Amino acid sequence: MTMVTEIESKVMAAKKASIILSSIRTGEKDKALEAIARALDNNRSSILQANEKDLENAEQLKREGKLSQALVDRLKVNDKKIDSMISGIRDVMTLDDPSGKTISSIELSEGLNLCKVTCPIGLIGVVFESRPDVVPQIMSLCLKSGNAVIFKGGSEALYSNKALFDVMIEALRNTGTIPYDAFHLMETREEVMDILRMDQYIDLLIPRGSNDFVRFIQDNTRIPVLGHADGICHVYVDEAADLDKAYNVCFDSKVQYPAVCNAMETMLVDHTVASRFLPEMAQRYMEAGVELRCDDESFSILENIKGLKLKRASEDDWKSEYNDLILSVKLTNSMAEAIDHINSYGSHHTDAIVTEDEQKKAEFISLVDSSSTIINASTRFADGYRYGKGAEVGISTNKIHARGPVGMEGLVIYKYVLIGNGDTVADFENTGKKKYTHRKLDISLENMLNLKTDKKVM
């Protein structure tokens, strides 16, 4: 007889609870979210104390070369970060519940109607590095959309993750309506591989972390993975660019927060504006401490600027995600050349153009194969919160199910509901008593069943 491990027991319990959670009414889920928000506010000191332990350990790991500064930065929690967590949860409360919505309905024949209805995916596995704020972000989005979650954070955020999770679970217990078994936090390194093998229970994996980390997850599981490995983002400064806009967009895209996946890593500049644009742009970057890695043409324009951190770019630079104050720079002879570079070297994450040419705006949107294409604005806008999703479960460069910053709409799928009255296929195909009409209907499943609108139907 096969023994069920403690980890598998937790996953099985979450899978079972996901069915119950999928039927909870929206009002009850919103009450639970408000309870979580209040609990985080009331337990700031314990959360911050736990985070201090993680930060002390992280600094030691950084000194030993085992942890990057970028991960240390993402690890830090302060009152402002807790305020942001609370705000994100309350933003989710204001969003529509994405599950139980009728996408379409059709009359197959008189008295035989088919509805396509959204429903939760089921059990989500979230595996992440650093960034303790992932826990309230994901839990709030999954709770509102009716999904259960198994969390596995990195050891560098062990105390912070547990403190946040314990506070939120206690809040859910006190509601008396939410099946808190739908949410579990795994704490040991060995549990990662166990989770990756549980494709019979876990419906979707969302990895959040470095390129190597995400690729490891993708390469070691049969569970569908939503996410992206690289964040190699570009800004192209066109010959028809308003250079004042270009200075601001390119500065923000690189400097505002360089250690994230939507920061610009390569700046492409049309050769006709390079001599006017690059010196001023380089001066601004120099003041911010940015190192520039330039192709031969841009290097020759900038090499006489004193104090500028300047290197010649190699082929590897066009394929690098620095997550730091480092930027590769390349001149192009046309927008077509810029687009070809983006599609060849980019990660299909987020890419922007600065131009006043309306035709080029349309062509850029059409021809750049990225999950977000941006006109005259910073790449840093490619974010679930900034896109009005309340928060995000991650950013996906996939071309199936969900793409770009993924909010709750990426946590639901759909099912077909067929409502008949003793109908049989034989009536259509054997006897010919009935005929298909395939007539589109403008009616929800709730109305078809004469249910109240607050009743959940999955």
Q: pLDDT tens for residues 223-232?
A: 998 876 678 9
Spatial strand order of the sheet with 291-294 comes to 310-312, 291-294, 326-332, 264-270, 233-237, 350-354, 372-375
* Residues 224, 394: Cα–Cα separation, whole Å: 14
User: What is the rounded (10 degree) CA torsion for 299, 320, 227, 336?
Assistant: 40
CATH: 1.10.274.10, 3.40.605.10, 3.50.50.60, 2.20.25.90. Which one for 6-97+117-226+405-411? 3.40.605.10
Q: What is the pLDDT of residue 441?
A: 94
pLDDT digits (tens, 9 = 90+) for 20-36: 999 999 999 999 999 99
123-137, 242-256, 275-289: range with lowest mean pLDDT: 123-137
pLDDT tens digit sequence for 134-184: 999 999 999 999 999 999 988 899 999 999 999 999 999 999 899 989 999
Q: How many CB atoms lie within 10 A of CB 3?
A: 5
> What token pair was written down for 106?
């059709």
pLDDT number for residue 228: 67
What Cα–Cα distance (Å) separates residue 220 from each residue in 193, 216, 394, 395?
Answer: 8, 6, 19, 20
Q: Domain 233-383 class?
A: alpha beta
What pLDDT score was predicted for residue 1? Answer: 41
Distance from C-alpha of 338 to C-alpha of 55, rounded to nearest angstrom: 42
Beta-sheet pairing, 291-294 with 350-354: unpaired
Burial class (CB in 10 A: 0-12, 13-18, 19+), 327: buried
Which residues touch 333 (CB under 8 Å, ≥6 apart)? Answer: 270, 271
User: Quick one: pLDDT at residue 429?
Assistant: 84
Predicted local distance difference test score (pLDDT) of residue 454: 47
Residue range 395-409: average pLDDT?
77
Most confident of 73-77, 293-297, 427-431: 293-297
d(CA 168, CA 95): 20
**Mean pLDDT computed over every residue of the chain:** 90
- Tell me the average pLDDT across 438-456: 78
Domains 6-97+117-226+405-411 and 233-383 fall in the same CATH topology: no
* E strand residue ranges, 43-200: 102-109, 112-120, 123-128, 148-152, 183-186
Taking Cα atoms as reference points, which of 286, 283, 278 lies closest to residue 309? Answer: 286
Segment 247-276 shows an average pLDDT of 95
User: What's the pTM value of the predicted model, to 2 decimals?
Assistant: 0.77
Per-residue confidence band for 455, with pLDDT thresholds at 50, 70 and 90: very low
For residue 32, with 0-12 CB atoms within 10 Å meaning exposed, 13-18 middle and 19 or more buried, which class applies?
buried
pLDDT at 399: 67
Tell me the percentage of the chain whose pLDDT exceeds 70: 96
Q: Angle at which helices 158-175 and 134-145 pack, to 10 degrees?
A: 30
